[in-house]
Amino acid sequence: MAALSTQGIVLKSIKYNENDLILTIFTRRYGKVSAIARGARKSKSRHLPSSQIFSYNNYVMSMQKSLYTIYQSDSIKSFYNISMDFESFSYASFITKLVEMNLEEGQTNNKLFELLVQTLFLYSEGYEEKLYLLDIFLIKFIVCMGYSPQVSRCVSCSCTDYQYAVFSIEEGGIICNKCAKNEKFYIKMDQTTISLMQYLQNNDIIVCTKARVSKILVNELFYILKKYIINYFEKVDFKSLEMLDNIKV
């Protein structure tokens, strides 16, 4: 089998035996793959740096039966600093698990790959508004996976000129005041939150992080995105973030 070369981010690492690790890697060229890093558990292994969770690396590997074998690996960015901050580590762990659980084996997604690299970079560099960064990632993750909410016009009548709007999880976007017949089934939100969602959808993540957003808006948006993701993605677990909230309190 010919050797394959690609960049990849380690999403998951499992002990295989005394010396080896089985890695779940989100690769740029081949999507999510499982690969064995032989000897990676040894302290002097050449694969040790490129087997760490979050790390961004170059890999040369080939398929052996149902599993890739890594023959060569070189670190691009370790993102080691993420592990030095508990809050950043918690958010980054949630993000990588979300990606790992919702990508099929071999499913490529270059936009999501770039988004993940940029998000891990920002967390590793100590970006202060950590929950806001999670909001940015989540709304862009939803877009990358093909479930983008419609927030530029009413999903029912397509109008953009409305008095106010509410958000419908089931219908996938905002509902104008004329179409919202029974508002108790919708999430109330003001135009500022709608405008923020539009901004995050339409701008690069680095541009988005430069905006100053109030904590009230950040929390409201997280509440909406959490409900949206739970509705559209079967494999998601927010328990770790709930635990983080309890510790912060």
Q: What is the pLDDT along the chain (249 residues), one digit of tens a residue?
A: 678 999 999 999 999 988 999 999 999 999 999 999 999 999 889 999 999 999 999 999 999 888 999 999 999 999 999 999 999 999 999 999 999 999 999 999 999 999 999 999 999 999 999 999 999 999 999 999 999 999 999 999 999 999 999 999 999 999 999 998 877 789 998 899 999 999 999 999 999 999 999 999 999 999 999 999 999 998 888 887 876 665 554
- How far from the centroid of its chain's Cα atoms is residue 81's Cα? 18
Reported residue count of the chain is 249
pLDDT of residue 246: 56
Q: What share of the chain is helix, strand, coil (3-state, %, to 5)?
A: 40, 25, 35
pLDDT of residue 215: 95
Distance of alpha carbon 123 from alpha carbon 128, whole angstroms: 8
Torsion of CA 172, 173, 177, 180, to 10 degrees: 10
pTM of the model: 0.93
153: Cβ–Cβ under 8 A, 6 or more apart, which residues? 159, 160, 174
Rg over alpha carbons for the chain, rounded to the nearest Å, is 20
Residue pair 134/213 in contact by the 8 Å Cβ criterion? no
Distance of alpha carbon 35 from alpha carbon 33, whole angstroms: 6
Q: What is the spatial order of strands in the sheet that 173-176 belongs to?
A: 173-176, 165-168, 187-188
pLDDT of residue 44: 87
